[in-house]
Structure 1
Amino acid sequence: MAGIIGTSSTAPIFASRPLSSHSSPTPSFSLHPSSGLSSGRKFYGGVALPLKKGRSHLHLSISNVATSPAQEEVQKLTSSKENQRPVYPFAAIVGQDEMKLCLLLNVIDPKIGGVMIMGDRGTGKSTTVRSLVDLLPEIRVVYGDPFNSDPEDAEVQGPEVRDKVMKGEQLPVVSTKINMVDLPLGATEDRVCGTIDIEKALTEGVKAFEPGLLAKANRGILYVDEVNLLDDHLVDVLLDSAASGWNTVEREGISISHPARFILIGSGNPEEGELRPQLLDRFGMHAQVGTVRDAELRVKIVEERARFDKNPKEFRESYIAEQEKLQQQIDSARSALSSVTIDHDLRVKISKVCAELHVDGLRGDIVSNRAAKALAALKGRDKVTAEDIATVIPNCLRHRLRKDPLESIDSGVLVIEKFYEVFG
């Protein structure tokens, strides 16, 4: 890993943060009756409501628990100190350089499209992904918005925020770390997409929309452990959202759409089943994780884990310097990413590799270019080299090759062989 990202063998990690400490108070959209008669359709904050003569129409509002950004920060600090379980430091993870590099590149450039991590049981897949929380950079969001709306980019703004922007209202803005949301295998479709609160409708006579996990994951990371065991109906939901970047909820005659752009990270054991090709193609990169065979390295991993279990706070403090160093490296790479260039000749060779490997579509070309630029930025350079491409192209194309049941060679090896054939 040190040779890849240009840091010492003790490369730092991102600053840790509890998953719940950065969650904003759970808001709800309430549709309250108001006076006046109308007909046809009327739009409230991006929500289309059918209106009929002789019935009062409804208006959209949001209610939140916190009353100010300052109060929310106090709640976050209290939550982080009292209710959060310690996260294993990213810098303390031994080995598994391929998986760690793929995760870092996606943090630097979220448009790469996420990571699919497949490997043996007990190889630290879930631990590594969740340790990424400490390294996530901050983003600017509209305070109190359940969709983590960007105050400047309309493409990732919720309906209420878009409505306020059109009216020229001033938006309260706060900085918060990128959110990581876990998608449980047993989650219902309503929990993932959002739902109408029927109980509130019966008791209070109003219809309240409760945003789901996709709303919370907007502009963040959606992590699915054992993704190959995910129910088909949830896979379809993820496919729709990943393809369009929007989630549409149709409930009780009301249609609500909100942005759902997230980095999709999945992990699983290939022995437990294959992933549907449609979903597999949505992952920008694919990392394979194997069991460490070196006895000395295995002993080191066991000892580090024992130290963490014995005193998590002291263990995390011992890696603070490395974590901060890596976080600074990531922040610098994100800032410099837009200035990184890649020669036209290298772009042509990347596309030639994809074409000769019979990769369907152009996602392989796009992701390979993005990942190579992100790696160059991580190394502190403003120009992509062939070495950068050689490092990332197996992870970008391995899962996009057509499966041959008679082929015994690993798909990653096929990509490397074709790379050297094309690049000379």
Structure 2
Amino acid sequence: MTSPYPFSAIVGQEPLKRGLLLLAIDASIGGLLILGDRGTGKSTAVRALAKLLPDMSVMKGCRYGCAPEPAAARCAECRETDRSKTAKAPVPMVDLPLGVSEDRLVGALDLERALGEGVKAFEPGLLARANRGFLYIDEVNLLEDHLVDLLLDVAASGENLVERDGLSVRHPARIRLVGSGNPEEGELRPQFLDRFGLAVSVTTPTSIAERIEIVKRRDAYEQDPEGFVAQWKRQDGKLRRAVERAREALPTIETPDAAIKQAARICMALGTDGLRGELVTIRAARALAALEGETEVTAEHVRTIAPMALAHRLRRDPLDGGDGEARVGRALEEIAA
């Protein structure tokens, strides 16, 4: 199997890379939406991230990849069998095909065992495989509405409940949603759009030098994938250690009232609904501070995060022709004035 393209080798697209790293540091940010042109490295960056991350500890033999701690968060199988051994496993990155059935997503009756052994057993679906990892939805704006509703429930609760065919199964499904798509092909429902903590726009590079470098690196990778990956192993290793340090430091990062006030003022100026905007802005700013090795959230961290956390939450204003990021930028300037 060919190794994924190295994360460190991706040219440009800094907001996209930053958003993915922040989501890797703090799952409570709530997901990342990537909107933009085809062929701009969206899928490449997402798959490269999974390879970049350090392995996670799991309960040995668990079909859902339960974490050893806290014990109360384990699945029923882990609690009932009193598993005590742990193992290391890669962080899952699960692709959700557009034509996926609901049974394939949530899990269903294991027909092979039911017919062969007469046993009602549960066959886990994609949500089980993605627990504690990433569920990647390409062309997310084309996803069927009933699957959108299902993912909204799971993303909010962190659990997958299956009650069908005489089965009643509940298992952890703490997933980090990553969606990508082209806005010209359809829009997301507001409820689903709001569920993504951060959103970034990616565009085709306009710099000749950047385009040349992208083509050269991609060509080198396709000619010798393993050799190319080996060249970037050290840079990916540095990023992996930076993510590990940021995760460890995250609980110690201070969030001054001034930073929270700044986030609240921005959200009020933009007229965002609810308080999810402030919460995501502060969580992402805290993760950014941890990634940069700082000890507290600063005004600059909030300013950096605000467009990613708020632009996709804004109501449409027919009198304002600017996009969401431009509106956030103007709000930041007004507050700073």
TM-score interval, smaller chain: over 0.9
Q: In the TM superposition, what whole-angstrom CA distance separates every residue of 1:142-195 from its partner, at most 9, and x where no partner exists? A: 01101111122245421111324xxxx351111223211111111110000000
Residue 207, structure 1, aligned to residue 120, structure 2 = yes
Q: Which residue of 2 aligns with 1:171?
A: 84
Q: Which residue of 2 aligns with 1:103?
A: 20
Q: Which residue of 2 aligns with 1:158?
A: 75
* Rg larger in structure: 1
Residue 329, structure 1, aligned to residue 242, structure 2 = yes
* Gap regions ≥5 residues in structure 2: none
Identify the match of residue 186 of structure 1 among 83, 87, 99.
99
CA distance in 2, matches of 1:265, 1:114: 6
What SS does the aligned partner of 1:185 have? coil
Q: Which residue of 1 aligns with 2:2?
A: 85
Q: Which has the higher helix share?
A: 2
CA distance in 2, matches of 1:125, 1:92: 14
CA distance in 2, matches of 1:177, 1:202: 33
Aligned CA RMSD, in angstroms, stands at 1.3
Identify the match of residue 294 of structure 2 among 359, 374, 381.
381
Residue 286, structure 1, aligned to residue 206, structure 2 = no
* Gap regions ≥5 residues in structure 1: 1-83
Distance apart, 1:304 and its partner CA? 0.9
Aligned residue pair count: 337
Q: Which has the higher strand share?
A: 1
Q: In the TM superposition, what whole-angstrom CA distance separates every residue of 1:57-84 from its partner, at most 9, and x where no partner exists? A: xxxxxxxxxxxxxxxxxxxxxxxxxxx2
Q: Which residue of 2 aligns with 1:421?
A: 334
Residue 312, structure 1, aligned to residue 225, structure 2 = yes
Q: Which residue of 1 aligns with 2:251?
A: 338
Query: Kindly tell me: are residues 199 and 324 of structure 1, through their superposed partners in 2, closer, same or farther at Cα, counting changes over 3 Å?
Result: closer
Residue 298, structure 1, aligned to residue 211, structure 2 = yes
Query: Kindly tell me: are residues 314 and 277 of structure 1, through their superposed partners in 2, closer, same or farther at Cα, counting changes over 3 Å?
Result: same
CA distance in 1, matches of 2:332, 2:236: 34
Q: Which residue of 2 aligns with 1:27?
A: none
Q: Which residue of 1 aligns with 2:29?
A: 112
Distance apart, 1:412 and its partner CA? 0.8
CA distance in 1, matches of 2:299, 2:333: 10
Q: Which residue of 2 aligns with 1:259?
A: 172
AA paired with 1:302?
V
Residue 142, structure 1, aligned to residue 59, structure 2 = yes
AA paired with 2:37?
D
What SS does the aligned partner of 1:207 have? coil
Residue 129, structure 1, aligned to residue 82, structure 2 = no
CA distance in 1, matches of 2:226, 2:2: 10
CA distance in 2, matches of 1:152, 1:123: 39
CA distance in 2, matches of 1:301, 1:103: 20
What SS does the aligned partner of 2:33 have? strand
CA distance in 1, matches of 2:44, 2:91: 18
Q: In the TM superposition, what whole-angstrom CA distance separates every residue of 1:271-317 from its partner, at most 9, and x where no partner exists? A: 11101111111100000001101112111111111111111111111
CA distance in 2, matches of 1:134, 1:225: 18
CA distance in 2, matches of 1:139, 1:405: 47
CA distance in 1, matches of 2:61, 2:318: 51
The two structures have a TM-score, normalised by structure 1, of: 0.77
AA paired with 1:87?
P
CA distance in 2, matches of 1:263, 1:160: 23
Contact kept, 8 Å, 1:156 with 1:261, in 2: the verdict is: no
Distance apart, 1:376 and its partner CA? 0.7
The two structures have a TM-score, normalised by structure 2, of: 0.97
CA distance in 2, matches of 1:118, 1:398: 12
What SS does the aligned partner of 1:241 have? helix
Residue 250, structure 1, aligned to residue 167, structure 2 = no
Distance apart, 1:406 and its partner CA? 4.3
Which runs of 4 or more aligned residues in structure 1 lie more than 6 Å from their structure 2 counterparts after TM superposition?
Answer: none
CA distance in 2, matches of 1:215, 1:118: 26
Distance apart, 1:210 and its partner CA? 0.1
CA distance in 2, matches of 1:293, 1:155: 51
Query: Kindly tell me: are residues 170 and 131 of structure 1, through their superposed partners in 2, closer, same or farther at Cα, counting changes over 3 Å?
Result: closer
AA paired with 1:413?
A
Q: Which residue of 2 aligns with 1:354?
A: 267
CA distance in 2, matches of 1:162, 1:356: 48
Report % sequence identity.
50
Residue 219, structure 1, aligned to residue 132, structure 2 = yes
CA distance in 1, matches of 2:268, 2:286: 21
Contact kept, 8 Å, 1:286 with 1:399, in 2: the verdict is: yes
Distance apart, 1:140 and its partner CA? 1.5
Contact kept, 8 Å, 2:32 with 2:178, in 1: the verdict is: yes
Q: In the TM superposition, what whole-angstrom CA distance separates every residue of 1:226-280 from its partner, at most 9, and x where no partner exists? A: 1111111211111110111111111222211111111100000111110111111
